[in-house]
Structures are given as C-alpha cells and as structure tokens.
Chain A
C-alpha cells in the first residue's frame, strides 16, 4: 500500500506515513544523543544514512556545527535537517556580528525551534542542540517532531533511541568526568546500533568545553574501543 507523503491520513482512513518522507527520500534512521558533564557537553551519533533498506552512506556525520561551540545532532530527513541547520548557522553568525558577542546555546535552540514549529507541516526533523558558553556552561536542548523545545540534562533521539531509554536511565549520572561521559555515550550508542536496524556504522562524538570543540571517532572494526583521528 502506498502511504503517500503528505503526513495526512491515507485514503483507507487508517494508515499514514509516519515519517512523512517522500518515496526514496534519504532518511537518517538514527541514534543520536547529547549529555552534559562536569566540564561541558558531549554530542554523539551513529553514521548510517538510508533510503529505504539501502544504506546510502555508512560514514555520515550527523553532528553539525552551527557556531563555535554550538552543535546539533540531526535525525529525520537529511535534506530537511541540513537545510534547517544551514539557516540557523547563518542566523547565529549574523547574531555574533550584529551584537558583538557569541550567541548562547539557548539562543541557537530558540532559532531552531522557531523554524521547526513554523514549518512543522513540511518538515521531518528531530534535533538535539548542544553547546557550551561561558555563562551557562554545557547545555542540551531537544526539539522533537512537533517543534517543541525541551531543556534537558541529557537527550536521546532517532529511531535507535527507543532501545536505550533503560540503559541511559540506569547509567547516566550528574557531573560525570569527561572520560566517564564519553564511555556512557559510547555504551549507549553501541546498544542502539546493536538493536536498531536503521542505525550503524561508526560512532562520532563532539566534546564541547571551555577549550573548544574536540572530535572523537570510533570504528566497529576495533569494536569501538580505539579512538581514531
């Protein structure tokens, strides 16, 4: 049965296209997360991009920089989330120039939300915004499908996240050391990759602290144990 791509009910009155993806649209069937820790915040993601059952890219980078120390994790339509991130990136750069001071994570999250909510009928984008600023330290905001904004100590998202609610609830702690936080993110994403068919590939992370942005890469070849450059 064709479910269409309108987001409205199908003619049978029962089925609808939940993901609202067009036929053949590239999907970030995904596992993403971001956590605050003692010195800042860490974003993490798998790297699988699919069109239906086909893996369009096995080493995708779903962690996108929108300002110096403000990043986002993208899930949903690759095209939609890239477009939204591009707009926000432009807005934040403009903000920095116009006001002579860097935007806060919260400002970034607010702009993301404005776009996601205003265009909710046209977008399929589930985003996690995480960033570090002098004033607020590390912060995590989640913007799920409808365009609401949630400030959280940590957030998980994407299709793979359904498998790791228990893991995260059991293992997350407030104010972790960097090493522990990296291992927490890695452990959670490994579980998500293991159980979710739409997640896989490498694990990417970004650590945001007063020192700036630090990228991590872990490969399945070494069982995600070794940090690669």
Chain B
C-alpha cells in the first residue's frame, strides 16, 4: 500500500497528489470482506440474491433478512458493513416516499439509483463523515402501463386518452449498482462482495446483454442466481452460509410488479440444483486431473 504513511489517507475528502481519495478506497476494502451480493436482470424481471455468512451457530435461522424492500416495486441488497446498509436502505425509503409525495407516482428505478448515488457521493465530500462501507445493488420493475396516480379521487376516466405514440414501450426491469464513491451504473448482471470475481465470471457466461438475456426466464434467473452464490461461496468454504433471494416481475409475472421474497419451495429447488451443479463441476475437474 503506497498510501500508508503519506498522511493523505488519514481523513476523508482529502486528495492525494495523484488525485485519489484513499478513504473511499479503504471503504471499498470493507465491501470486499462482506458476503457476496448479486443481481440479475432479464426480460421478465429482476432477481436479487445474497450470501449470508453464518457468523454464529446461535443465530436464528432465516430470521435476519438482508434484502430490503424500499417501495412496492423496489428492492436493495448490499455487501459490506451491514449497519451502513441499513442506514442506506432507510434513506432510500425516504427518497421513494418523498418522490411519491411530490409527484404522486412511484419512483423509477433509475431515478432512485440517481438519488442514492448522490447520497453516497455526499459522504465522500466532508472530513466530518466517512464514506459508506457498502456497495448496494438496486433492483426494480417500473410499471409498463400508464403510471398510476397516488391518492387519485375515484377511478378516473374509463376511456383511454387519445394520441398515444403507438409501438412505444415504457418501464420494465432495472438494475443498478452503487459503489462507496457514489459511482453507479446500470447492469444486466451485477455482483459485489467477497466472491464478486467468481460471480462476475458466471454472470458473463449468461450473456445477459445478448440473446441470453432475451431468453432467460425469471424462474431460470432465480436458479442461476442461487447457483452463482454457491459458486462464489465455494472459493472460501471456511464458514457456512444462508442464501436469501428476492425477485420482481412485471404486472403479468409471478410477483405482479412487487418486490417479494422468492417462495420457499422455489428457493429450495434452486439450492438443490445449485448443489448438484457444483458436485458435477467437481467431478469434471477431478476427471480432468486424471487425464
């Protein structure tokens, strides 16, 4: 670490002579020690998954949820310092609420990502605060139909309004990842935390940006997400873990546009397949060794 001892890394918001903010880079280190989080975006919706490392046998199984619902159609998962993540989620809920209050309509995933990116960035600007020790993945499904109006009186006109542009589509699935610096991008598949390298490699194989993303169903995405978390965990098998998964489909899909936990039956099926896939992978590798 060239940064150590120079003094430029002792306070937030300080630039080093070569233009780096070391405290932000150290915050990223906190993320890299956390359990792996991933998000997959496909045509039908978004899946979020997280590897929850079991730090103690005394933890109540399946009781400590890590993926948060921020609005009806929005979910956030994060890796790194969990209390920081909770704070981040609280803020995201406030933003979603404020948007609804002002514009009487749900916030778009892209708009929430923008707001939260700004919030994260603000914590890199001052010596009086430290950056967030998390990287967050935001998933959502924006309504593809007419935007609903919150608190509308009555049901509104039964007839459709005239002059819509034909053939244009709106809304759809959204996936964004925000880093401690406040930097964020939209993703087809996103991964962060300890196992991100392995997870990214697996995500890339899905070819989500190309035909892979077109053909992948939401249920398949759930199974891939489970498998990827298992693969990402395999590299550091020191501790046991719990898999938590949520999904968001469009209004015609299984969650009817809401962010929800993946049903237990499907999650367990996905985990069974994930374990099976891992075993057969191991066998393959063993086979190669013998050649």
Whether chain B is bound by chain A comes out as yes
Interface residues in chain A, defined as those with a beta carbon under 8 Å from any beta carbon in chain B: 36-41, 99, 104, 106-107, 109-111, 113-114, 132, 134-139, 148-153, 174-175, 209-210
**Cβ contacts A to B, 19 pairs, < 8 Å:** A36-B157, A36-B162, A106-B105, A107-B104, A110-B103, A110-B105, A111-B103, A132-B163, A135-B147, A135-B168, A136-B164, A137-B162, A138-B161, A138-B162, A149-B149, A149-B151, A149-B152, A150-B156, A152-B157
Q: Among B104, B114, B149, B162, point to the contact of A38 (Cβ < 8 A).
A: B162
Query: How far apart sit A170 and B156, CA to CA, in the bound complex (Å)?
Result: 20
Q: Which 6 A-B pairs have the closest CB atoms?
A: A110-B104, A151-B156, A40-B163, A137-B164, A153-B157, A137-B161
- Beyond A134-B168, A135-B146, A151-B149, 12 additional pairs, beta carbon < 8 A: A36-B159, A40-B163, A106-B147, A107-B103, A110-B103, A111-B102, A134-B165, A135-B147, A135-B164, A138-B161, A148-B153, A175-B159
Minimum Cβ distance to chain A for residue B159 (Å) = 4
User: With a CB–CB cut-off of 8 A, which chain B residues contact A174?
Assistant: 159
User: With a CB–CB cut-off of 8 A, which chain B residues contact A135?
Assistant: 146-147, 164-165, 168, 170
- 1/0 contact string of B200-213 vs chain A (CB within 8 Å): 00000000000000
User: With a CB–CB cut-off of 8 A, which chain B residues contact A109?
Assistant: 104, 149
Cross-chain contact B156 with A37 (CB below 8 angstroms) = no
Question: Is B111 part of the binding interface, using a Cβ–Cβ cutoff of 8 Å?
Answer: yes
Cross-chain contact A153 with B164 (CB below 8 angstroms) = no
Question: Is B154 part of the binding interface, using a Cβ–Cβ cutoff of 8 Å?
Answer: yes
User: With a CB–CB cut-off of 8 A, which chain B residues contact A132?
Assistant: 163
Candidate in B111, B114, B147, B170 with the most chain A CB atoms within 10 angstroms: B147
User: With a CB–CB cut-off of 8 A, which chain B residues contact A38?
Assistant: 162-163
Query: How far apart sit A108 and B234, CA to CA, in the bound complex (Å)?
Result: 52
Given contacts A104-B147, A149-B153, A150-B154, contact A136 B104 (CB under 8 A): no
Which B139-183 residues have C-beta < 8 A from chain A? 146-147, 149, 151-154, 156-165, 168, 170
Cross-chain contact B102 with A36 (CB below 8 angstroms) = no
User: With a CB–CB cut-off of 8 A, which chain A residues contact B170?
Assistant: 135
Query: How far apart sit A99 and B109, CA to CA, in the bound complex (Å)?
Result: 12
Q: Among A40, A106, A153, point to the contact of B149 (Cβ < 8 A).
A: A106
Residue of B at shortest CB range from A151?
A: B156
Query: How far apart sit A72 and B68, CA to CA, in the bound complex (Å)?
Result: 40
Query: How far apart sit A107 and B100, CA to CA, in the bound complex (Å)?
Result: 10
Size range of the chain B interface in the assembly: 20 to 34
- 1/0 contact string of B99-115 vs chain A (CB within 8 Å): 00111110000010010
Dominant SS among interface residues on chain A: mixed
User: With a CB–CB cut-off of 8 A, which chain B residues contact A41?
Assistant: 161-163
User: With a CB–CB cut-off of 8 A, which chain B residues contact A152?
Assistant: 156-157
User: With a CB–CB cut-off of 8 A, which chain B residues contact A151?
Assistant: 149, 152, 154, 156-157
Query: How far apart sit A114 and B102, CA to CA, in the bound complex (Å)?
Result: 7
Cross-chain contact B146 with A153 (CB below 8 angstroms) = no
Query: How far apart sit A194 and B143, CA to CA, in the bound complex (Å)?
Result: 46
Cross-chain contact B162 with A37 (CB below 8 angstroms) = yes
User: With a CB–CB cut-off of 8 A, which chain B residues contact A209?
Assistant: 163
User: With a CB–CB cut-off of 8 A, which chain A residues contact B102?
Assistant: 110-111, 114
User: With a CB–CB cut-off of 8 A, which chain B residues contact A99?
Assistant: 111, 114
User: With a CB–CB cut-off of 8 A, which chain B residues contact A138?
Assistant: 161-163
Query: How far apart sit A113 and B103, CA to CA, in the bound complex (Å)?
Result: 10
User: With a CB–CB cut-off of 8 A, which chain B residues contact A137?
Assistant: 160-164
Minimum Cβ distance to chain A for residue B50 (Å) = 30
Minimum Cβ distance to chain B for residue A208 (Å) = 8
Query: How far apart sit A99 and B152, CA to CA, in the bound complex (Å)?
Result: 24
Residue of A at shortest CB range from B155?
A: A151
Query: How far apart sit A84 and B162, CA to CA, in the bound complex (Å)?
Result: 27
Query: How far apart sit A60 and B42, CA to CA, in the bound complex (Å)?
Result: 54
Minimum Cβ distance to chain B for residue A67 (Å) = 14
Minimum Cβ distance to chain A for residue B281 (Å) = 44
User: With a CB–CB cut-off of 8 A, which chain A residues contact B165?
Assistant: 134-135, 210
Minimum Cβ distance to chain B for residue A116 (Å) = 13
Cross-chain contact B104 with A210 (CB below 8 angstroms) = no
Minimum Cβ distance to chain B for residue A174 (Å) = 4
Given contacts A110-B104, A114-B102, A135-B146, contact A36 B161 (CB under 8 A): yes
User: With a CB–CB cut-off of 8 A, which chain B residues contact A106?
Assistant: 103-105, 147, 149
Residue of A at shortest CB range from B156?
A: A151
Cross-chain contact A150 with B163 (CB below 8 angstroms) = no
Cross-chain contact B105 with A107 (CB below 8 angstroms) = yes
Given contacts A110-B105, A111-B102, contact A39 B163 (CB under 8 A): yes
Query: How far apart sit A150 and B157, CA to CA, in the bound complex (Å)?
Result: 9
